[in-house]
Amino acid sequence: MKSLRSLHYLKAFGYEFIDKELDFTPQSKDYEELRLKVQNCQLCPLSKRRRFCIMQNTFKHYGLMVVGDFLSTSENDSKTLLNSAEGIKLKLLLKENLGLEREDFYMSYIYKCYSQNKDDDFALKQCLPYLFDELFFINPKIILCLGKQSFYHLGFEDFTRLRGEILHFKQSFIMPSFDIKFILKNPSFEQEFIKDLTKLKAFL
């Protein structure tokens, strides 16, 4: 995003002004209240496609939080996070390269309801506050942001230049890297993704 677009983008999502310290004061009193809000949300038409609450059942502070853009069809149908080809691949890569089992990292999506991989600005406006509350309660050391669109939706720009870089993001760090769907379609980029993962070891 260009700077002017960034200003309008964040203003539309409730920010009074833009500086390096954006206000992520939680709108929920705790994780359980947040989960109930997401589970019962009907603020946009996407809620009609939701099969389950797109948040983990258990809460704790994780060193690593992984953020993608869209829930997969199989996840929505099975009501199980990471129950997809992309999810299986992600779990394998995190285990092989970081020694992390499924219970060792927190998975989240920007869109909280199944959206058929189609961006919806109105739905995004409803979903982002939920994600920011998640970030507050989970308080990860570092966030692995999967894909250009996820990075874009969090208010950043220039994914190509910043991919693999460690950046400050409120109380955490964030690193953008390739989306797993992209890796499966373009396996020649897998080694680049693995190189990005190795940079996370210092935070775990």
Task: Indicate whether 22 belongs to any domain.
Answer: no
What CATH number has the domain bearing residue 60? Answer: 3.40.470.10
Domain limits for position 131: 52-203
Task: Indicate whether 77 belongs to any domain.
Answer: yes
Say how many domains are in the chain: 1
Task: Indicate whether 79 belongs to any domain.
Answer: yes
The encoded tokens of residue 50 equal 């939701």
Task: Indicate whether 155 belongs to any domain.
Answer: yes
Unique residue bearing structure tokens 């020649």? 188
Task: Indicate whether 171 belongs to any domain.
Answer: yes
CB 105 within 8 A of CB 66: yes
Task: Indicate whether 26 belongs to any domain.
Answer: no
Tens digits of pLDDT across the chain (204 residues):
344 345 434 544 554 444 444 455 788 999 999 999 999 999 999 888 888 888 988 788 899 999 999 999 899 889 899 999 999 999 999 999 999 999 999 999 999 998 887 888 889 889 999 999 999 999 999 999 999 999 999 888 899 999 999 998 878 999 999 999 999 999 999 999 999 999 999 988
User: Can you tell me the distance from the alpha carbon of 83 to that of 79, in angstroms, rounded to the nearest whole number?
Assistant: 8
Task: Indicate whether 116 belongs to any domain.
Answer: yes
Please give the full DSSP string across 148-192, using - where no structure is assigned: HHHHHHTT---HHHHTT--EEETTEEEEEE--HHHHHH-GGGHHH
Task: Indicate whether 38 belongs to any domain.
Answer: no
